[in-house]
Homo-oligomer: A and B are copies of this chain.
Amino acid sequence: MALIAAVISLILLEYYVFMMLVGMARGKSGIQAPQMTGDPKLERAIRVQMNTLEQMVVVIPCLWLFGTYISTTIGAGLGVAFIIGRALYCKGYMADPNKRAIGFVIGFLATLGLLGGAVYGTVMAAL
């Protein structure tokens, strides 16, 4: 499971970088908390972080369950695909919200694979 654990750590590290991008975008925009809108760069950075968080809460438990009940190597591979998809999503979204699609789809398919495997593996094991 060390392979799965390492991939989980790297996903958390990537997300941490996205959190820092929000802090930097807020600093540049001059917008004071708790205001969350008013500058397109800040709004995009917030959406990259939040959208990653929204998927990460699925991906991390699923990675662990996929690794436990299906396969550590396939699970780790899907986890790495998620990391790459999210990096492309961030790069695309920050340049132009319309360029976020490719990275989104890669991350989405990786999430779907991990979720499908986790549901199948755990339900089969519980029955």
Contact = CB atoms under 8 A, between A and B. Distances in A.
Interface of A: 2-3, 5-6, 8-10, 12-13, 15-16, 19, 32-34, 40, 43-44, 46-47, 49, 53-58, 60-62, 65, 68-69, 97, 100, 111, 115, 118-119, 122-123, 125-126
B119 A9 contact: yes
A15 B57 contact: yes
A5 B54 contact: no
B19 A54 contact: yes
Contact of A15 (B40, B49, B58, B122): B58
A57 B54 CA distance: 10
> From DSSP, what is the main secondary structure of chain A's interface residues?
helix
A58 to B, nearest CB: 5
Nearest to A48: B34
Contacts of A58: 12, 15-16
29 contacts: A2-B69, A2-B125, A2-B126, A3-B126, A5-B65, A5-B69, A5-B126, A6-B122, A6-B123, A8-B65, A8-B122, A9-B122, A10-B119, A10-B123, A12-B57, A12-B115, A12-B118, A13-B115, A15-B57, A16-B58, A32-B97, A33-B47, A33-B97, A33-B100, A34-B43, A34-B44, A34-B97, A49-B54, A60-B61
